[in-house]
Amino acid sequence: MKADILLGLQWGDEGKGKIVDVLARDYDVVARFQGGPNAGHTLEFDGRKHVLRSIPSGIFGGGGSTITNIIGNGVVLDPVLFRDEAQALEAEGIDLRGILKISKKAHLILPTHRRLDAANERAKGSSKIGTTGKGIGPTYTDKVARRGLRVGDILSDDFGARYSAIRDSHLEQLEAAGMPVAGTKDFVDAEQDWFDAIDYLRNFDLIDSEHYVNKALDNNNSILCEGAQGTMLDVDFGSYPYVTSSNTITAGACTGLGLAPGRIGKVYGIFKAYCTRVGSGPFPTELFDETGATIRAIGHEYGAVTGRERRCGWLDLVALRYAVMIDGATHLIMMKSDVLDDFDEIMVCTAYQLPDGTVTSDFPYSAGDNAEGAGVCEPIYTKFPGWKTKLSGIRNYDELPQAFKDYVSFIEKEVGVPVALVSVGPDRTETIVRSL
């Protein structure tokens, strides 16, 4: 048995939560492999809406039988946010402790990490990244600097002392940055809350998840690996430095779960019928006009975690092709198709014109290098007539309007991978499966 992966091909918020939930029915295990509570994955079914941040989107089993969910070693976990999220689900009657396992090798987000995130952003001034403020960058920094605290460490006797040593070095950094917090009531309370949340975390099954997932595959159990963020936010291949601090790509599922490349099966690459981005950085097809505002309004394009306005623009096939190449996507999943229902014309970017006049269809070294995202790339568009049809009630691909199918065919031809599933609304049922 091989592990399949579902990951974002754009700048995040493609609809990963919805589709992991839809696909979960066919899997025994769902495993998150990177990111942390910077993620906000939305699931809608039975008239209810859930936003998951650290907990995998397989906890409802797609409405089928109960399945196992894993928070992998590549994830960074904030015990306080995790406890709040878990308790809210437990209050709804979900037996989370019975279905969720957490890697001992996942790194812990400390109270100081979130404050360092804010200090780093302040120091960057107008070139700030626009992070989610959840301490993601500083936590991964400590991981790579080989001084991080891991979930498994909470089981050791010297956990308190190790915590204090790291906390003290962070406090010095905050002091030097002109944002001292040592001794403040706010910080003392935050630390107490953090240790209370660590106690709550001890109630969960803390495991060597690399052994668990590999044995699960050996025993013919199926696994779906759930990505967070998106390929264009990958720390190596995204629009650096306006990226997150983890590998969001297919390779990230290997390192974030301990799966060898040969154990990977299908790679479901998910994208919106248009593009959005939240935070700073280049976005070549961004629309600053009425059309962008219309997409935002119809698509409810506001951050699931921070409530920030998402920047909106047309579908960018240069970036999409690049993401498909980096991820080796075998199947495409197109989301939020219904948002474009009423548009007279729909534009798709097929190439960029660079400042020296050359035209390229390969994503360049830099697509713009300032926080405002002013592109050094001028998008070249192909125009499509809108389908002017309400898609949300349609469940069969053949019944979709021809103009919509032409749009899909064009994307498939340009990117070279088939669209296996089309989403026409936020609800679990508003889904058209072609060939998974």
Q: Which residues form the catalytic set?
A: 13, 41
Q: From the list 243, 256, 426, 432, which residue makes contact with ligand GDP (rule: CB under 6 A)?
A: 426
Size of the site for ligand IMO (CB under 6 A): 24
- Which lies closer to ligand IMO via its Cβ, residue 13 or residue 85? 13
Closer by beta carbon to ligand GDP, 249 or else 377: 249
Q: Does 76 bind ligand IMO (CB under 6 A)?
A: no
Nearer to ligand IMO, 283 or 343 (CB): 283
Q: Does 130 interact with ligand IMO (rule: CB under 6 A)? A: yes
Q: Are strands 359-360 and 264-272 parallel, antiparallel or unpaired?
A: unpaired
* Cβ distance to ligand GDP smaller for residue 306 or 330: 306
CA end-to-end span of the chain: 16
Is position 141 an interface residue for ligand IMO (rule: CB under 6 A)?
no
Contact string (CB under 6 A) for ligand GDP, positions 365-404, x = contact: ----------------------------------------
Nearer to ligand GDP, 36 or 426 (CB): 426
7 to 36: interface string for ligand IMO, x by CB under 6 A:
-x--xxx---------------------x-
- The contact pattern for ligand GDP, residues 20-39, with x = CB under 6 A and - = no contact, is -------------------x
Kindly state whether residue 278 participates in binding ligand GDP, applying the rule CB under 6 A: no
Distances (CA, A) of 55 to 207, 212, 279: 15, 17, 23
The one segment of 141-149, 179-187, 201-209, 229-237 that binds ligand IMO by CB under 6 A: 229-237
Q: What distance in Å separates the CA atoms of residue 422 and residue 209, rounded to the nearest whole number?
A: 32
Nearer to Mg ion, 4 or 13 (CB): 13
Number of residues that bind ligand GDP (CB under 6 A): 24
Which of 29, 267, 278, 319 lies at the binding interface for ligand IMO (CB under 6 A)? 278
Using the structure block, give the residue that is written with the tokens 């032409």. Answer: 406
Site for ligand GDP in 301-360 (CB under 6 A): 304, 335-336, 338-339
State how far the Cα of 3 lies from the Cα of 216, in Å rounded to an integer: 10
> Partners of 130 in the beta sheet?
none
Q: CA distances (Å), 341 to each of 384, 404, 425, in order? A: 13, 9, 11
Binding mask 234-263 for ligand IMO (x = CB under 6 A): ----------xx------------------
Residue 181's contacts (CB-CB under 8 Å, 6 or more residues apart) are: 112, 115, 171, 174, 187
User: Of 39 and 411, which has the nearer Cβ to ligand IMO?
Assistant: 39
Closest approach, Cβ 233 to ligand GDP, in A, equals 11
**Residue selected from 209, 229, 247, 350 as contacting ligand IMO according to rule CB under 6 A:** 229
Nearest to 168, CA basis, from 181, 154, 151, 178: 181
Binding residue (CB under 6 A) for ligand GDP from 17, 135, 282, 375: 17
Contact residues: ligand IMO, CB under 6 A: 8, 11-13, 35, 38-41, 129-132, 134, 136-137, 228-230, 233, 244-245, 278-279
